[in-house]
Structure 1
Amino acid sequence: MKQLMPAIQSLLGGPERGTVMSLRTEDIEAYLHVVELGGISAAARRMGLSKSVISKRISDLERELGVSLLQRSTRSIRPSENGRYFYEQARAALRQLDHAAQTVSDAAGELRGELRVLAPMTFGTRWLSPLIAAFARAHPRMNLILELDDKLVDVGYERYDVAIRITRLGDSSLIARRLTVSRRVLCCSPEYAARAGLPQGIEDIAQHACLAYSNSPPAHVWAFAAGDEHGSVRSIAPRGVFTANNGEVLRDAALAGQGLAVLPRFIVWDDLHAGRLVEVLPHLPPVDDGIFAVYPRSGFGSVKLRALVQYLQASLARPPWEEPETAGSLRLLQGGAS
Structure 2
Amino acid sequence: MRLRTEEIEAYLRVVEFGSVSGAARGMALSKSVVSKRISDLEHSLGASLLQRSTRSVQPTEAGRHFYEQARAAMAQLIRAAESLSETSRQLCGELRILAPMSFGTLWLSPLIADFAKAHPRLHVAMELEDRQADTRHERYDVAIRVARLGDSALIARRLAVSRRIVCCSPAYAERAGLPADLDELHHHACLSYSNALPTQIWAFHGKPHQIAPRVVSPRGVFTANNGEVLRDAAVAGHGIAVLPLFIVAADLAAGRLIQALPEEEPIEDGVFAVYPRSAFTLQKIRTLVAFLQAAMSPPPWDVSNAAVKTSVPQPALMLRHG
* TM-score bin (small chain): over 0.9
Q: Please name the residue that 1:234 is paired with.
A: 214
Q: Work out which of the residue numbers 308, 311, 319 in structure 2 matches 1:330.
A: 311
Deviation at 1:299, TM superposition (A): 7.6
Q: Please name the residue that 1:115 is paired with.
A: 95
Counterpart contact for 2:262–2:309, Cα < 8 Å: no
Q: Would you say 1:269 and 2:249 are equivalent positions? A: yes
Q: Distance in 2 between matches of 1:251 and 1:167?
A: 18
CA 234–304 in structure 1, closer or farther in 2 if over 3 Å, else same? same
Deviates more, 1:150-159 or 1:41-50: 41-50
Q: Please name the residue that 1:253 is paired with.
A: 233
Deviation at 1:334, TM superposition (A): 4.5
Q: Distance in 2 between matches of 1:299 and 1:51?
A: 36
Counterpart contact for 1:221–1:238, Cα < 8 Å: no
Q: Work out which of the residue numbers 28, 33, 46 in structure 2 matches 1:53.
A: 33
Deviation at 1:182, TM superposition (A): 0.2
Q: Distance in 2 between matches of 1:271 and 1:251?
A: 9
Counterpart contact for 2:99–2:127, Cα < 8 Å: yes
Deviation at 1:45, TM superposition (A): 2.5
- Listed as ranges, the matches of 1:95-114 within 5 Å are 95-114=75-94
Deviation at 1:53, TM superposition (A): 2.0
Deviation at 1:75, TM superposition (A): 3.8
Instruction: Name the SS for the 1:298 alignment partner.
Output: coil
CA 328–263 in structure 1, closer or farther in 2 if over 3 Å, else same? closer
Cα deviation code 1:182-240 (max 9, x no counterpart): 00001000000110111110011111111111111358851011222445311111111
Q: Which has the higher contact order (CA 8 A, sep 6+)?
A: 2
Q: Distance in 2 between matches of 1:38 and 1:104?
A: 32
Q: Work out which of the residue numbers 154, 167, 174 in structure 2 matches 1:187.
A: 167
- Listed as ranges, the matches of 1:269-308 within 5 Å are 269-298=249-278, 300-308=280-288
Q: Work out which of the residue numbers 71, 74, 80 in structure 2 matches 1:91.
A: 71
The TM-score, its normalising length taken from structure 1, stands at 0.89
Instruction: Name the SS for the 1:60 alignment partner.
Output: helix
Counterpart contact for 1:273–1:329, Cα < 8 Å: no
Q: Which runs of 5+ in 2 are unaligned?
A: none
Instruction: Name the SS for the 1:262 alignment partner.
Output: strand
Q: Please name the residue that 2:54 is paired with.
A: 74
CA 137–145 in structure 1, closer or farther in 2 if over 3 Å, else same? same
CA 328–75 in structure 1, closer or farther in 2 if over 3 Å, else same? closer
Q: Distance in 1 between matches of 2:163 and 2:40?
A: 51
Q: Distance in 1 between matches of 2:239 and 2:97?
A: 34
Counterpart contact for 2:97–2:143, Cα < 8 Å: yes
Q: Distance in 2 between matches of 1:183 and 1:246?
A: 17
Deviation at 1:170, TM superposition (A): 1.0
Deviates more, 1:192-201 or 1:39-48: 39-48
Counterpart contact for 1:201–1:281, Cα < 8 Å: yes
Q: Please name the residue that 1:153 is paired with.
A: 133
Q: Please name the residue that 1:316 is paired with.
A: 296
Q: Distance in 1 between matches of 2:260 and 2:212?
A: 19
> Which residue identity is paired with 1:34?
V
Deviation at 1:243, TM superposition (A): 0.8
Q: Which runs of 5+ in 1 are unaligned?
A: 1-19
Deviates more, 1:123-132 or 1:219-228: 219-228
Q: Please name the residue that 2:203 is paired with.
A: 223
Counterpart contact for 2:177–2:318, Cα < 8 Å: no
Cα deviation code 1:247-269 (max 9, x no counterpart): 11110000000000110000000
Identity of aligned residues (%): 60
CA 244–220 in structure 1, closer or farther in 2 if over 3 Å, else same? farther
Counterpart contact for 1:208–1:239, Cα < 8 Å: yes
Q: Distance in 2 between matches of 1:111 and 1:35?
A: 28
Counterpart contact for 1:161–1:299, Cα < 8 Å: no
Counterpart contact for 1:118–1:148, Cα < 8 Å: yes
Deviation at 1:172, TM superposition (A): 1.1
Counterpart contact for 2:102–2:226, Cα < 8 Å: yes
> Which residue identity is paired with 1:207?
H
Deviation at 1:140, TM superposition (A): 0.8
The TM-score, its normalising length taken from structure 2, stands at 0.93
Q: Distance in 2 between matches of 1:253 and 1:136?
A: 35
Q: Distance in 2 between matches of 1:149 and 1:300?
A: 27
Q: Please name the residue that 1:17 is paired with.
A: none
